[in-house]
């Protein structure tokens, strides 16, 4: 199992967190909340968004038909969508089958306590009206959150 990157998108189509590991051998390698990843984040968001709208049409309309994974020849994208419009996206290698528990842990045990229940952290990362149309730049900078994500995901990077 290898994890390549982890992304969070909010309901305003903004990427509010990204972490990319670049070297499998070194768990601390890579970038956090990087400006260079802005374009990649937009592409990733667009890919998931368009596939989501396809899948919504394809399935039975009575039951929800949310997208779970997208696999390519080289990597696999796992998506967890919450009702509040938050997307947690994890890129892993193709061998990796089910990481929905990992995503649920990241949301329930890390994001909710350190960001949603933190009075000092903004709940909505778009402060102005013009940041709500996918133009936002604010990221999760919360130290506790960053450390918890690192502690939880790093052991899986090269496993």
Partner 1 sequence: MAIQTILVINKSGGLVYKKEFLNGGHRLTSNEYLVLAGTLQGVIAIAGQLTPKALQITKNSGIKDVTDQETLVAYAGPLGILESQDMGSFMLPDYFTESFKSWNTSGLKHITTDQLSLFVFQSLTGVKLVAISTQNSISNVAVSIAENLLRKVYCLYADYVMKNPFHEAEMPIKCTLFDKKVAEMVSRL
Q: Which residues pair with 5 in a beta bridge?
A: 20, 91
CA dist 74 and 95 (Å) reads 10
Residue 23 interacts with partner 1 (CB under 8 A): yes or no? yes
Residues 6+ apart with CB under 8 A from 86: 8, 9, 10, 11, 107, 111
123: its two tokens: 């709940």
Min. distance of Cβ 54 from partner 1 in angstroms? 5
Quick one: which segment of 15-23, 106-114, 138-146, 148-156 binds partner 1 (CB under 8 A)? 15-23
CA dist 45 and 7 (Å) reads 10
Site for partner 1 in 80-109 (CB under 8 A): 91, 93-95, 97-98
Query: Measured from the CB atom, is 97 or 159 closer to partner 1?
Result: 97
Min. distance of Cβ 91 from partner 1 in angstroms? 6
Residues 6+ apart with CB under 8 A from 46: none
Asked whether 32 and 146 are in contact (CB, 8 A), the reply is yes
Asked whether 53 and 45 are in contact (CB, 8 A), the reply is no
Residue 64 interacts with partner 1 (CB under 8 A): yes or no? yes
Query: Count residues contacting partner 1 (CB under 8 A)?
Result: 43
Binding-site member from 27, 32, 47, 105 for partner 1 (CB under 8 A): 47
Binding-site member from 68, 105, 132, 138 for partner 1 (CB under 8 A): 68
Q: Which residues are at the interface with partner 1 (CB under 8 A)? A: 2, 4-5, 20-24, 30, 40, 43-44, 46-47, 50-51, 53-55, 57-61, 63-75, 91, 93-95, 97-98
């Amino acid at each position: 199992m290898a994890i390549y990157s982890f992304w969070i998108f909010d309901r305003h189509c903004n990427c509010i967190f990204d972490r990319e590991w670049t070297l499998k051998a070194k768990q601390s390698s890579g970038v956090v909340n990087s400006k260079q990843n802005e374009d990649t984040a937009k592409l990733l968001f667009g890919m998931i968004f368009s596939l989501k709208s396809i899948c919504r049409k394809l399935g039975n309309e009575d039951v929800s038909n949310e997208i779970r994974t997208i696999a390519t020849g080289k990597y696999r994208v796992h998506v967890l969508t919450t009702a509040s419009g938050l997307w947690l996206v994890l890129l892993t290698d193709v061998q990796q089958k089910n990481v929905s528990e990992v995503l649920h842990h990241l949301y329930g045990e890390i994001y909710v306590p350190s960001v949603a229940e933190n009075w000092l952290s903004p709940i909505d990362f778009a402060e102005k009206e013009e940041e709500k149309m996918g133009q936002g730049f604010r990221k999760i900078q919360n130290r506790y959150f960053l450390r918890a994500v690192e502690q939880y995901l790093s052991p899986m990077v090269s496993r």
